[in-house]
Amino acid sequence: MQHSNSLTISSSNNSVITSGDEFFLLLLNDAVVTLAGNIRVESGSKTAAVYVEKSRFILSENAVINSKASNLGIYCDDKGRVNVYGGSLNVSSPDSKDHYAIYAKNSSTVYIGDGNIKMVGKGDNVGVGGLDSTISIAGGKISIEGSPAYGLYSENSSVFVSGGEISAVGKSSAVGIQLLKSKLNMSGGSISATADGNGWGIKTEDDCELYIDSISPKIPVSPEKQVALPW
């Protein structure tokens, strides 16, 4: 989609949009699209429900995206921007491969200020993933189930967490925030990681930088099967 002005897709009477095996939205060339109001999208895309490249996608109010068969819920590439101010993104992974509710790469940015990001299924599931990008969490809830499960997965990226709730539940392992060659600045929010095997609130690899001013780690239900943060 290429649009010279901002476009809002909304409904006042609980409308439902059903999309096939292609993208529900394909945003290119500075498009700005908001999904808002009482509208629900049922996406059958095998790639992503929404693709954002050099554009901006906003999810707000009571809007809902249900993505049942894709590898990605929202795919953000090449300086794309995703803002979640409300609503819900629900993704179900169809197999045991890598899956992301939101994935950003190549100098893209993801901001979550409110709303719900949820992912279920038997795959290697990630709530928000970033490669060479910026992820900011100020509110809302990220709830991920998988085998394993990651709330956030950051590679060579910057992560800012000032609020919100991150929850990861994994059959093999679970990580609230996974960092590889990344920077984390955390001044608020909470992290929960529950697994049959090992659980980590924050796990780092390969030259990461952490600045943590405030955090509320949730004590595991099964202490013998999890590792809580030491502070």
Is 104 contained in some domain? yes
Q: Which residues contact 93 (CB under 8 A, 6 or more apart)?
A: 71, 99, 119, 120, 121, 122, 123, 125, 146
pLDDT of residue 216: 65
Is 126 contained in some domain? yes
Is 95 contained in some domain? yes
List the chain pLDDT tens, one digit each, 231 residues: 555 568 999 988 889 999 988 899 999 999 999 999 999 999 998 889 999 999 999 999 999 999 987 789 999 999 999 999 999 999 998 787 889 999 999 999 999 999 999 999 888 999 999 999 999 999 999 999 999 999 999 999 999 999 999 999 998 899 999 999 999 999 999 999 999 889 999 999 999 999 998 666 554 544 444 444 444
Q: What is the CA radius of gyration of the chain?
A: 17
Q: Which residues contact 46 (CB under 8 A, 6 or more apart)?
A: 21, 69, 70, 71
- Per the structure, the complete domain to which residue 135 belongs is given by 83-219
Is 213 contained in some domain? yes
Is 36 contained in some domain? no
Q: Which residues contact 4 (CB under 8 A, 6 or more apart)?
A: none
Please state the pTM of the whole predicted model.
Answer: 0.91
Please choose, from the candidates 149, 142, 182, the residue with its C-alpha nearest in 3D space to the C-alpha of residue 163: 142
Pairing between β-strand 209-212 and β-strand 25-27 as defined by DSSP bridges? unpaired
Q: Do 4 and 33 contact (CB within 8 A), yes or no?
A: no
Is 128 contained in some domain? yes
Alpha-carbon gap, residue 179 to 193, rounded angstroms: 15
Instruction: Classify residue 122 as exposed, middle or buried by CB count within 10 Å of its CB (0-12, 13-18, 19+).
Output: middle
- The total of structural domains in the chain comes to 1
Is 50 contained in some domain? no
Is 194 contained in some domain? yes
First to last CA, the chain: 47
